[in-house]
Amino acid sequence: MALLLFHDHRCLWSSRAFPGPASDSASVKGIFRGIHCAVCSQFRPRMFEVRVTEGSVQVEGCTTPLFFRQSEPVGAAPTLTVLLLHGIRFSSENWLNIGTLETLAKAGCRCVAVDLPGLGRSKAAEPPVATGQLAPGQFLRSLCESLGLAPVVIVSPSLSGMYSLPFLMQHSAMVRAFVPVAPICTDKFTAEQYQSVKVPSLIVYGDQDTQLGEASLHNLQHLTNHRVLVMKGAGHPCYLDDPDTWHKGLVDFTSAL
């Protein structure tokens, strides 16, 4: 008796001599190990080698270039481009240290983590507006155009909401998806403005972040096409508190785009 295993009209595995009832269990087990290996090789996600580099970019509105780190898959065209922003006490180094740059590149993404003006290794750059005010949407547009990022997935924690939200509202055609992580400035837009944004969004916050996390969710839930990831036991920088859950949620979301 012959056994064939098909998927989408493709033969994944075959046995020209599938044993009958008299065959011993070892033979049967061997055949099904072969089936298991054939199936796994077809559906196992491909993991790429990763190259990480550093650079600087001139952005409209800044007299001093901004520092950035970039990760990308080696030997393959990226499937998505991701821009990682950060909060007031952080920088691109955090995304390097917890493995987000590597994780996304292994999944096939080109990933850029920038140090925002006045912070990290962009400390000499003057911010375009005071902290907590909305930056011009042109700021991130200039960054994305200079680095060739669009259409881009924007990951925006905390302080970076002052940059990402105006860009999202004014230049949504350049945004592939939006991942807000308890950002500031969500109260500066109306429910109608959020409803006008159609890009896929993953709203992330830690359940121990009872102030900014819940406040931002209250406003961001008006985004038309969104899902929510609540990270149990995590605080405001939830991605630092639980990198494994953060990476799984982020990769699952971006892989489905």
Residue of 156, 160, 201, 209 marked active site: 209
Active-site residue, 244 included: no
Question: Is 9 a catalytic site residue?
Answer: no
Distance of CA 162 to the CA centre of its chain: 19
Rounded Cα–Cα distance for residues 181 and 134 (Å): 17
C-beta atoms surrounding 86 within 10 Å: 25
Is the backbone peptide bond immediately before 65 cis, with ω within 30 degrees of 0? no
- Give first-to-last CA distance, the chain, whole Å: 43
Which one from 91, 158, 160, 201 is the annotated catalytic residue? 158
Pairing status of strand 80-84 against strand 152-157: parallel
User: Following CA atoms 127, 133, 170, 152 in sequence, which dihedral angle do they give, to the nearest 10 degrees?
Assistant: 50
Count other C-beta atoms under 10 Å from residue 64's C-beta.
15
Sheet of strand 80-84: strand arrangement: 50-57, 66-73, 109-114, 80-84, 152-157, 175-181, 201-206, 226-231
Alpha-carbon span 257 to 248, nearest angstrom:
15
Per the DSSP assignment, residues forming a β-bridge with 181 are: 157, 204
Residue 209 annotated in active site: yes
Catalytic option among 86, 236, 242, 247: 236
Cα–Cα distance, 90 to 147 (Å, whole number): 22
Task: Give catalytic residue positions.
Answer: 158, 209, 236
